[in-house]
Amino acid sequence: MAGRQRILPVRRDYNRWVANQTLEDYALRFTAKSARRWSAPRVAQTAIGAISFLALEAIGGAITLAHGFVNASAAIVVVSIILLVTGLPIARYAARYGVDIDLLTRGAGFGYIGSTVTSLIYASFTFILFAIEASIMSTALELAFGIPLWASYILSALAVIPLVVYGITAISRFQLWTQPFWIILNILPFAFIAWKDPSQFAAWWQFGGLDRGGLPSTFLEEFDLVRFGLASSVILALMPQIGEQVDFLRFLPVRVADGDGFVKPAHRIAVFFAGPGWIVLGAPKLFAGSLLAVVALRWGVPALHAAEPAHMYDVAFRYMLPSRDAALVLTAAFVVVSQLKINVMNAYAGSLAWSNFFSRLTHSHPGRVVWLVFNVAIALLLMELGIYEALERTLGLFAIVAVAWLGAIVADLGINKPLGLSPPGIEFARAHLWDVNPVGVGAMGTATVLALCAATGLMGEIARAFAPFVALATALIVAPLIALATRGRYYLARRPREDWRKLSTIRCSICEHDFEPEDSAFCPAYDGPICSLCCSLDARCGDLCKPQARLGAQARAALTAILPGRLGAALSPRLVEYLAILTLITTAIGLVLLVIHFQSSVGVPEIEVALTRALWSAFFVLLIVAGVVAWFFVLAHESRRVAEEESARQTTALLDEIAAHERTDAALQKAKEAAEAANVAKSRYLVGLSHELRTPLNAVMGYAQVLERDTGLGAARLNSVKVIRRSGEHLSGLIDGLLDISKIEAGRLELARDEIRLGEFLDQLVEMFRFQAEAKGLAFRFTRPTRLPEVVATDEKRLRQVLVNLLSNAIKFTQAGEVVFDVAMRHEVATFTVTDTGCGIPEGEIARVFEPFERGRRARGQPGLGLGLTITKMLATLMGGDVRVDSRDGEGSRFRVRLMLSVVAAPIARPAPPLAIHGYEGPRRTVMVVDDNAVHRDLVREVLAPIGFTVLEAEDGPSCLALAAEIRPDLFLLDISMPGMDGWDLARRLRAEGFATTRIVILSANVGESRPPDTEIALHDDLLAKPLDVARLIDRIRHHLGLEWRHEPPAAVPPPPEPGRDDRPDRAEAADLLQFARIGYVRGVEERLAAIEAAVRADGDEPGPRLAGLARAVADFDMTRLVRELEAIDVDA
């Protein structure tokens, strides 16, 4: 079983003409109820404008001249009754369902494709009638103004296009504006004839025809059944005029019932006169033409031109006007207005008919305006070929096919539906109809064949004259019989959705416009609603909604039922298609040759026999050609079908592959989301962990800094405190490393722009790591460029972090040999290269050394977490640079970092070194510290109380508010994370309760993990991170309170050493310590002093006052005093 066809819905964009409903006027689909804006009287008046066409006068005059008054008048009366009766059901259904004649044909027994032939018939009627009417107009222009006929034809055709482009909107205005002028000029001539020359009426009644010399006769003597039939056949050719009326009837407003449930009379009257009632007003015009033709003949107009409306009304207006020229001008004006009034109808109806015809053949619709021009062009060609000269023959032959078509429609609407042989409504959607309904198509085909046989004389002379009546009668009989035999099963392939009828509009899934339910159907190929316009034009669906109702399936089913069992089962679809195409081409050829035979009849038996023999020969020759052409059509269609099937298979395979990719992508997306969720969870965990670690670490490092400032501690205790602080700093660095990775991955790490004195910066690093390398027995070489900018701009902390990680790794993993630090600078691009002779990295591990927590097998015995290189690469990338590594296992490694360092042309002056603080100027200040951790509160007290601050403590927000109400602090230090009221809420309450200008500093282990919300920025004045940097805390308090520190006086020169005590450090040692002190490398100074003290004690001596003074200066972080004392040692030495 074949899989369901899948079609990607591509939104259909129509061109400007199709999208504009004013131009399009709902071509190819029913007139939406919302578009029926005009009143019933206005629609009726617009449609009644069709009776203005002078072809009625021309036909009346032609049949009178040919067959006499008696036969012509009888034909007019009888045929008018027939047209009135047959037009009633057509008008009724068209007005009720808002459909044009083509859509009505689809639902009245012809099917979707079956009505294609009728669209061609109707389109032919419109351009034939257009050509006849325009020829009449051209004759008037030639007669009145002397314009050549060929030019008049062009003017008559082109004048109509602007009036019809804008559809019923413009046509309605034109008909209403010209109606009074036309009515007056249509009636006045006959009044003047009756007044001035009543004898013309007697002559008219007694006119027996040109072949009898116009002799007077009685009715019984004059009436001839054959002549009556010939005259009636010509008039019956006007039967398709009801189609033009229907094209306007569809704009009637929806039926409105009165209080008793009956349709209002105004609506019924409008339906009657706009529909079949046209003949009520048209029959008098036929009689008028009959009269004027006799009058013109008696005025001396040649018989060849007596039936031409221009000559008729020229004679008629001479009764009104004494001047011949004035009569000619009035004639031209009247004829032009009359012909424009009808030709706008013909052109409009033709544009709709061609739209319906070609849309089903080509599955495209360039717009009704295009087919309007096409229809006018065909009519112009017929005019140039002289169709008016063969008026009677043309209409007589056309009447056969047209009457057969409309007879089948009338039979279905007037007989089948009332008897229940067909569905009660009118369904026109392609999705709901069989391609061919044998009721209408079969009735029309049978009627046409019998009528053509009658027209050729096979059934006798009388049948030949009544050929159109044969077609009408046959259609009325055969249609109900076929409907009865088929039980009406070929009307609907599937029924519309009942639940859609309750909706006001439905959106088409293709063009994405809204349509009323009657204009919509469900399409299984697109799996959604589709409007009738998109459904008609779609060429990709393959009628998936009704596979059994397609033309090919119907043809195969019919042949299988007709032919014997084995022959029907073995019947090839290719043969069926070939026979169908050959039949169509043969029929078309036969019709063309038949028209030629009728047009070429001269009445000479010998010539007609020769002509018939030649036409038969031509037919058989063309039949052979048609067979070859049909076969080529079949092969081309089969090739196309094979290509489409292969394309469908490939498309299905592609769609399956796409679906598989979509499943894979969905799985990858799910895995990605899971990884991202895990990454977010990891980041949250790290942030939370850092907060929990920093909380106790703040106390450890803070108290370590306080103890280091205590001058009463002994050297041994001081060294222990320094070990505690250094361990805390190491732990803090590990935490910072974890958080740096989290920040970089989240894109929250912000770079600073510091001014760095590059030479001093590099010297600090070199001195720091040279000491470490030499202590390990390694050579440390530094290659400095000859030209180095004095000051560059970058993030000093991050640059130091990158280089420290690389240099520390090089020393850590090198057991013997050397470490080389090379710096190159070119065009503000710095290249830092660190080369070692250590253990190296195996080739398989090089790609993993930059991954978090990844450590090579050679690094397993070394301390560390495996984050150094990860942070280095991330920071370098973030700073716009890169990191590259070259390494060989067992031979060493080379890491190269390239960064952009912008040269600073005007650097900021270097700040003065800080001095020791022992108080401040001015009154005593009060600081309140709020923290749920008592250790943290005590730490802040230990830092601030010795330098003169009053420190108040509160463990939570309510306690702070209560205490602050009694004692107004000068500054608040608030922790963020507290139970109940957090730091932000407390700051908000403080601002609201009178502390709008009091300084608030936030202290938290979470500072720096995320930017505070904009609404909370205004609540505080500063943020400081835990663990606390005591020096920064003191500096920010000075800044916010505007304090001026009191510094300790310069240290006194120590007394000379006592005899027998060691006076260390010496000059060389002091020089090394001085280098560390100048770069601020406190840890290096501490380690060297501790080493010197250990050496002194190893010799059995106690440290002297010089060494003790230097230790106190380091413990107080007084680097200025330390440098001064070391410089003094150098000078003394």
pLDDT per residue as tens digits for the range 1079-1105: 666 667 777 887 788 777 777 777 777
**pLDDT score of 479:** 92
Average pLDDT over residues 643-653: 79
* Cβ neighbour number for residue 672 with a 10 Å cutoff: 11
Answer yes or no: is pLDDT of 836 > 60: yes
Q: Which tokens go with 1029?
A: 């940097």
> Phi/psi class of residue 910: alpha, beta or left (left: φ > 0; alpha: ψ in -120 to 50)?
beta
pLDDT per residue as tens digits for the range 176-210: 788 888 888 888 888 888 888 888 888 888 888 77
Residue where the block lists tokens 């079956």: 114
Q: Which tokens go with 577?
A: 């298609």
Nearest to 876 by CA among 816, 806, 813: 806
Cα 505 from Cα 485, distance rounded (Å)? 38
CATH of 750-903, one of 1.10.3720.10, 3.30.565.10, 3.30.910.20, 3.90.1570.10: 3.30.565.10
Cα 484 from Cα 416, distance rounded (Å)? 9
* Cβ neighbour number for residue 731 with a 10 Å cutoff: 16
Cα 680 from Cα 747, distance rounded (Å)? 12
Contact predicate 67/209, CB 8 Å: yes
Contact predicate 230/396, CB 8 Å: yes
Contact predicate 238/403, CB 8 Å: no
Name 66's Cβ contacts closer than 8 Å, sequence gap at least 6: 209, 210, 211, 227, 230, 231, 392
Q: What is the DSSP letter of 107?
A: I
**What's phi and psi for 929, nearest 5 deg?**
-105, 130
Interior CA angle at 674 toward 672 and 675, to 5°? 65
Contact predicate 911/780, CB 8 Å: no
**What's phi and psi for 330, nearest 5 deg?**
-65, -40
State how far Cα 406 lies from the chain centre: 45
Is 652 exposed, middle or buried, given 0-12, 13-18 or 19+ CB atoms closer than 10 A?
middle
Across 563-572, 759-768, 1041-1050, least confident range: 563-572
pLDDT per residue as tens digits for the range 576-626: 777 777 887 887 788 777 766 765 665 677 777 787 888 888 888 888 888
Q: Helices (DSSP H) in 412-497: which residue ranges?
A: 417-419, 438-455, 461-465, 467-486
pLDDT per residue as tens digits for the range 974-1021: 988 888 888 888 998 898 888 888 899 988 766 554 445 555 666 788
pTM: 0.56
* Cβ neighbour number for residue 970 with a 10 Å cutoff: 18
Q: Which helix (H) or strand (E) segment is 77 a member of? A: helix 55-97
Is 625 exposed, middle or buried, given 0-12, 13-18 or 19+ CB atoms closer than 10 A?
exposed
What are the boundaries of each domain within the chain?
32-387, 576-706, 750-903, 917-1045, 1050-1132
Average pLDDT over residues 678-692: 68
Answer yes or no: is pLDDT of 719 > 70: no
Q: What Rg value do the Cα atoms of the chain yield, rounded?
A: 54
Please give the share of the chain, as a percent, with pLDDT higher than 70: 80
Nearest to 1080 by CA among 765, 679, 675, 630: 765
**pLDDT score of 255:** 65
**What's phi and psi for 23, nearest 5 deg?**
-80, -35
* Cβ neighbour number for residue 22 with a 10 Å cutoff: 11
In CATH terms, the superfamily for domain 917-1045 is Response regulator (3.40.50.2300)
Name 686's Cβ contacts closer than 8 Å, sequence gap at least 6: 738, 739, 741, 742
Nearest to 840 by CA among 890, 778, 895, 885: 890
Measured CA to CA in angstroms, residue 931 lies from 352, 943, 979, 999, 1009 at distances of 87, 15, 10, 17, 19
Q: Which helix (H) or strand (E) segment is 950 a member of? A: strand 950-954
**pLDDT score of 821:** 92
Q: How confident is the model at residue 5 (pLDDT cuts 50, 70, 90)?
A: very low
Is 991 exposed, middle or buried, given 0-12, 13-18 or 19+ CB atoms closer than 10 A?
middle
Is 498 exposed, middle or buried, given 0-12, 13-18 or 19+ CB atoms closer than 10 A?
exposed
Work out the angle between the directed axes of helices 551-562 and 573-599 (0-180°, nearest 10).
90
Q: How confident is the model at residue 1060 (pLDDT cuts 50, 70, 90)?
A: very low
* Cβ neighbour number for residue 595 with a 10 Å cutoff: 15
E strand residue ranges, 687-762? 754-757
Classify domain 32-387 at the CATH topology level.
Answer: Hydantoin permease (1.10.4160)
* Cβ neighbour number for residue 470 with a 10 Å cutoff: 24
Question: Over the range 90-129, which residues count as b (16 or more CB within 10 Å of their CB) and which as e?
Answer: bbbbbbbbbbbbbbbbbbbbbbbbbbbbbbbbbbbbbbbb
Answer yes or no: is pLDDT of 703 > 50: yes
Cα 443 from Cα 450, distance rounded (Å)? 11
**pLDDT score of 29:** 58
Count CA atoms closer than 13 A to 409's CA, side-chain side. Answer: 31
**What's phi and psi for 894, nearest 5 deg?**
-135, 120
Cα 191 from Cα 282, distance rounded (Å)? 18
Cα 591 from Cα 598, distance rounded (Å)? 11
pLDDT per residue as tens digits for the range 287-337: 998 899 888 888 888 888 888 888 888 888 888 888 888 888 888 888 888
Query: What totals of helices (H) and strands (E) does the chain contain, helices first?
Result: 42, 19
Coil, strand or helix at 911:
coil
Q: How confident is the model at residue 89 (pLDDT cuts 50, 70, 90)?
A: very high
